[in-house]
Amino acid sequence: MELIILCLWMLAILDVSWTRALDRLLVVSFDGFRYDYLNRSLTPNIQNLIRQSTYSERILSVFPSQTFPNHFSIATGRYVEEHGVLANELMDLQTQEIYKFGYKLFHYNETTVPIWTLNELKKEGRHSGCMMWVGCSMAYQGTNGTYSVEFDLSIPWDDRIEKSVSWFTDPVKPANLVMLYFESPDQEGHIYGPDSPETNAQIQRVDKTVQKLLQVLKAKNLSDVNLVVLSDHGMESVTLPRIINLTGVIGDDGKWLGTSPVLQIYPNKGKTDALYERLQEFSKRNGHFDVYKKQDIPEIYHYKNCDRAPPILAVAKPKYGFHDLYSWIDEIKKKHKLTVTNQTEFGVHGYDPQTLSMQPFFIAKGPKFEKGLKLDKPLKVVDLYGIFADVLGLKASPVEPYNRKLLHPVRSPLVAQESTHLTLALVGYTLASLIALTALFTLFILFRRRQEMRNLGYTLVDKDESGI
């Protein structure tokens, strides 16, 4: 009996004296980095990183393959019809209010908990940091992240790296999750097209930035931070003759919003059928875009089951765009002093995510990921939340079992805290209880680890057990 009490007491002591070090994660996004940009012999540092990482050559973005929807799906594990960020701008059908970037756009569904909020809410000394990640600099569930820098393209890339990495080493509130955003090669991809020298220069800049990031992590002794490098969508080229002008077709019967290749169309009262029929007829003649009534938008887009979905949606086929591009082209023509001909290529994204040119990449390195593993099928953007949660030891649902295999079943190091307790306890006992303690401790660790592995869906194999 006495022994049992002693054992229980020891367990209690051990539980307060030893805590797991928090697993750390840095997620980096380079906007609009198409998966096959890595095949242009411009990215030696990223190739080198891939050799040490788990690599998914492609990921399937959510529809529309645009920036706000995808960055928010990466962070929440939800499709747009659930989190409500259907586009970079949209109209609230009840109030007719137009939402652009801002609190309301990102707060359609209050049950949406981005990964940085999930982490912060768990307490346990967890802190999240956001460097310009889309939707990150605002409260969710009434909680802000500990660190945040709002979207500001004037902040130099090197400063973004220094600042966000410094959050991990803060002596008072060290971050265990940091989200870091870079706007290129998306910008140049749009203006000069995906195959331009300007875009290639940005691909090289991204490669050097990855190298710089790894150097900074190493210099700050943060090489054991799990690092995910990814992008949100790809890029496709469009030329002037491939622009479909719907202004005359829509006429005075409705308004449109959004950006090519996806236009949300809001018919005036009583005009839905007439407008849809005109668009449908034009679509048949033109052949380069699809038009849907809300209820007919393909299920596979996970888009229509949302109060924010427009009554009519027009989606251009790859390499085509709509009339919204005219004014944008006029703008960049002036701003960048471009000469535009029928052959001039611009870049557009937002098409069906199954389109190869819309697909970005995923690289994950660190103690929680397999080294040198290339996935044989593309990940989905909505899977990433579960992967991040697993790395951080947070509960999130649902995660497909397939993805769990990416995580290397390692135990995070046990670190001693309040070791004076432990010392006092040991002093009070004879050599015999010391031996008992050791045995107990081993059993305890084994038990905890086994439980942990079971929680993660692993079965321990002999190789791992011999490691203790």
Ligand X SMILES: *[C@@H]1O[C@H](CO)[C@@H](O)[C@H](O)[C@H]1NC(C)=O
Using CB under 6 A, list all residues that contact ligand X: 35-36, 38-39, 57, 82, 109, 111, 139, 142, 144, 221, 241, 245, 247-248, 323, 326, 342
Counting other chains too, the contacts that 89-98 makes at CB distance below 8 Å and 24 or more residues apart are 89/257, 89/258, 89/259, 90/257, 90/258, 90/264, 90/308, 90/310, 91/255, 91/257, 91/264, 91/266, 91/310, 92/308, 93/266, 93/307, 93/308, 93/310, 94/307, 98/257
Active site residue 67: yes
Evaluate whether 229 touches 179 at the Cβ level (below 8 Å).
no
**Taking the complex as a whole, how short is the minimal distance between the CB of residue 427 and ligand X, in angstroms?**
27
Nearer to ligand X, 123 or 463 (CB): 123
Give the count of beta carbons closer than 10 Å to the beta carbon of residue 156: 9
**Taking the complex as a whole, how short is the minimal distance between the CB of residue 223 and ligand X, in angstroms?**
8
Nearer to ligand X, 241 or 428 (CB): 241
Evaluate whether 54 touches 370 at the Cβ level (below 8 Å).
yes
**Taking the complex as a whole, how short is the minimal distance between the CB of residue 334 and ligand X, in angstroms?**
16
Closest CA to 227 of 380, 371, 116: 371
User: Before 194, cis peptide (omega within 30)?
Assistant: no
Q: Pick the catalytic residue: 43, 67, 146, 272?
A: 67
Nearer to ligand X, 197 or 248 (CB): 248
Nearer to ligand X, 2 or 376 (CB): 376
Nearer to ligand X, 171 or 248 (CB): 248
**Taking the complex as a whole, how short is the minimal distance between the CB of residue 141 and ligand X, in angstroms?**
9
Burial class (CB in 10 A: 0-12, 13-18, 19+), 199: buried
Residue nearest to ligand X (CB): 248
Give the count of beta carbons closer than 10 Å to the beta carbon of residue 342: 8
Token pair for 58: 């492609």
Phi, psi torsion values for 214, nearest 5 degrees: -65, -40
SS3 333: helix
Nearer to ligand X, 10 or 73 (CB): 73
**Taking the complex as a whole, how short is the minimal distance between the CB of residue 108 and ligand X, in angstroms?**
7
Token pair for 68: 């706000």
**Taking the complex as a whole, how short is the minimal distance between the CB of residue 66 and ligand X, in angstroms?**
20
The neighbouring-strand residues paired with 227 are 26, 365
| Residues involved in catalysis | 67
